[in-house]
Structure 1
Amino acid sequence: MGLLTSLKSSISRATSSLFTGSEPKRIGIYGPPNAGKTTLANRIARDWTGDAVGPESHVPHETRRARRKENVEIKRNGKSVTIDVVDTPGVTTKVDYNEFLEHDIEKEDAVRRSREATEGVAEAMHWLREDVDGVIYVLDSAEDPFTQVNTMLIGIIESQNLPVLIFANKIDLDDSNVQRIANAFPQHETVPLSALEGENMDEVYDKIAEYFG
């Protein structure tokens, strides 16, 4: 058995042992800013409950506090899994208020937002270490996945023995490259999708039920 096959088998066994019982699993949606985490969280919540988790925006760090939609029941292929969808702030090494100024936000508001976003990143990291049962890691498939933040977060997730699915989002974009993400993190399964367009959501739900059910 090859090293990669062995590692995937170990992750699968860890997933099975973690998710026993009937309590809802708290699944954190993580990833860098503007990867489409809130769009995905809203897509999941609307599809299964009819309600959204929070507002979507092209402005970076619009999600500055973790938001939760509880008791989302997903039924796929005769299997049912109930999860709490947790939309977390985009994790980054630095939040610069100048990012907000580029979106015509006044300086005072930009400084406030950057402070809140920094606090939100700290909160997201706390949740990752203390308060989630599994992770959906969302990446923009049109961006380079080989970043310090992505490597760090995937490493932390693995050190916590948390089951993780990597979602390559924004496949509706012309410069999308799903294989680049799969190559970056070959030890985990990569699922392509467009949360905005609802493309490939059937497979998304199949994998959520398989990994977290």
Structure 2
Amino acid sequence: MGLLTELRDSISRAASTLFAADDPKRIGIYGPPNAGKTTLANRIARDWTGEAVGPESHIPHETRRAHRKENVEIERDGGTVEIDIVDTPGVTTKVDYTDFLEHDMEEDAAVERSREATEGVAEAMHWLREDVDGVIYVLDATEDPFTQVNTMLVGIIESQDLPVLIFANKIDLEHANVGRIRNAFPQHETVPLSALEGDNMDEVYDQIAEYFG
């Protein structure tokens, strides 16, 4: 009886593994605040599902909880890649409520936003360590990529052996410098784009299909 039970459990585990392999991969969208992560997540989701993932804003830390859009089917070269998009809060080493006061926010609201943003950073790190199968790392191409946060996060992603694509966003802006991002992380594929304007999205989808398909 014990042997039959073990055999049944083994078959059940094998079947679970088999079916899990067909589940959509969870792709986390990471990067510093205001790099355009939610704009990109919404661009991808709208292109393939017609629905957005979350609200966008020029104010830092608009995304303070991870938002997940499931079963996004991306069609490339006659095939389909199915992924779940996880738009995560911007990761930073410090959230200061005074930064929000510069955006005409009342002090109480700024303090609350700071608290929620700090919790959001912790949630983003939890997703990275436990719940994603690959990473899209979004950087603002007008900003210096050589920061402590970027170095730390890319290092953690590499230590997790997660496939990662680096997206150099905001190439529609005058001072965008994609080469600087490529030089910062030459070990990874860097794809230039403008999530806001939709520039170069064909290559974005080609790379997503190649890396995460």
TM-score over 0.5 for the pair: yes
Matched with 2:11 is: none
What's the RMSD between the two structures over aligned residues?
0.8
Distance 1:180 1:198 in 2: 21
Query: What is the TM-score with the length of structure 2 in the denominator?
Result: 0.90
Query: Highest Rg: 1 or 2?
Result: 2
**What is the identity, as a one-letter code, of the residue corresponding to 2:147?**
T
Matched with 2:85 is: 85
Within 5 Å, which residues of 2 pair with 1:44-63? 44-63=44-63
Within 5 Å, which residues of 2 pair with 1:102-141? 102-141=102-141
Contact 1:79 1:209 in 2 (8 A): no
What stretches of structure 1 move > 6 A for 4+ residues in a row?
A: none
Number of aligned positions between the proteins: 194
Matched with 1:5 is: none
Within 5 Å, which residues of 2 pair with 1:139-158? 139-158=139-158
Query: What is the TM-score with the length of structure 1 in the denominator?
Result: 0.90
The farther-off stretch of 31-40 and 77-86 is: 77-86
**What is the identity, as a one-letter code, of the residue corresponding to 1:182?**
R
Contact 1:34 1:90 in 2 (8 A): yes
1:78 Cα offset (Å): 2.0
SS at match of 2:156: helix
**What is the identity, as a one-letter code, of the residue corresponding to 2:59?**
V
Distance 2:100 2:81 in 1: 38
Structure with more relative contact order (C-alpha pairs < 8 Å, separation 6 or more): 1
1:190 Cα offset (Å): 0.1
Matched with 2:192 is: 192
Q: What are the Cα deviations for residues 181-211 of structure 1, in whole angstroms up to 9, with x where unaligned?
A: 0000000000000000000000000000000
1:22 Cα offset (Å): 1.7
Q: What are the Cα deviations for residues 96-128 of structure 1, in whole angstroms up to 9, with x where unaligned?
A: 001110000100010000000000000000000
Percent of aligned pairs with the same residue?
84
Distance 1:151 1:90 in 2: 14
Distance 1:40 1:85 in 2: 10
Structure 1: state its 5+ residue gaps: 1-19
**What is the identity, as a one-letter code, of the residue corresponding to 1:24?**
P
Distance 1:67 1:21 in 2: 23
Distance 1:55 1:120 in 2: 15
Q: What are the Cα deviations for residues 75-108 of structure 1, in whole angstroms up to 9, with x where unaligned?
A: 1112211111000000000000011100001000
Matched with 1:29 is: 29
Matched with 2:72 is: 72
